[in-house]
Amino acid sequence: MPDELLDAYRQRLEAAVRRRSLKASENPQLDLMTMLLAAPAEAAAGLDLKERRRELAALFSWAVPNTRALEVLAAHAPLVECGAGMGYWAALLRARGVDIVAYDSAPPGRRRRKNLYHGSREPWTHVVRATSVAAARRHRDRTLVLCWPPYDDDNASYAVLRAYRGDTIVYIGEPDEGATGSVRFRRDLTLNWTLAQAVPLPRWPRLRDTLMVYRRNAVRRPLTERDRCFECRRYIATGAIGRCLACAKRRPAALVLRVGKHRVEYLQEMLDAMPQAQREALERAPNRIK
């Protein structure tokens, strides 16, 4: 069964790779994901779902859209997506007639510099080269869309949130403490934005992908110099992982880096959710503690 299912999956994946455009009625990433997750439990081990997820994310997106999520995004147009990667969400929205501009600091493509999260094929739609901070600052009149910003990069989430001057953000990733969005980004959302809507997305095992619509609060509250550990609630320095040293000792992280005066920890589920190239780069990092 696993071999037959994998063969059928690979045939459909190869057909998707050859595609260059999408229609409004199509969502090949969701189709392929559904095909894999519908397999009997005894076949799951042979399918290597972690690798299949990375494979599909590299070609499409790190979060899988569904019809409801696309409808919610359309209702908040015009949109600006920062860190758009392959432009898969933007392509599906444009096919539906939605006004969206898409940016990435390193749009994928054979003639461009390497994108850490995606392969070398061209994006599904036009993606403009620009940093997320510059794009967010340029489009205060549009709803900001951030889809799976990296957990360990403030410039992809927190700095973008600070640069944006509009009133609505759509954050696509894991709620609360998870594999997406930096610590300061999530804390700024909690302090200065109000969750208006949450839409569960198709989910791979152990992930909690959700589309969340936030509205800016009328009064901004600054991040304090100290915050609480998200496990035991002791105070810790803002900018750390979100766990105190005691909790880190009780449940050790799979990988720890020293960044300035802070420890940046990666739990195993966070490493599992990363692109393979990024994970390998972290494991070779000279500032690795363990």
CATH 3.40.50.150 holds for 67-216: yes
**pLDDT band with cut points at 50, 70 and 90 for residue 230:** low
**Nearest Cα to Cα of residue 96 among 26, 46, 166, 38:** 26
Distance CA(235)–CA(14), nearest Å, equals 50
Side-chain half-sphere exposure of 138, counting CA atoms within 13 A: 14
pLDDT tens figures, 117-141? 887 789 999 999 999 999 999 999 9
pLDDT tens figures, 139-179? 999 999 999 999 888 899 999 999 999 999 999 999 987 88
Give mean pLDDT, residues 52-59. Answer: 95
All CATH 3.40.50.150 domain ranges of the chain, comma separated, are 67-216
For all residues of the chain together, what is the average pLDDT? 88
According to DSSP, the residues that pair with 172 across neighbouring strands are 147, 211
Distance CA(22)–CA(34), nearest Å, equals 18
pLDDT tens figures, 7-37? 999 999 999 999 999 999 999 999 999 999 9
Please tell me the predicted confidence (pLDDT) of residue 1: 56
pLDDT tens figures, 93-121? 999 999 999 999 999 986 666 787 887 78
Distance CA(89)–CA(82), nearest Å, equals 11
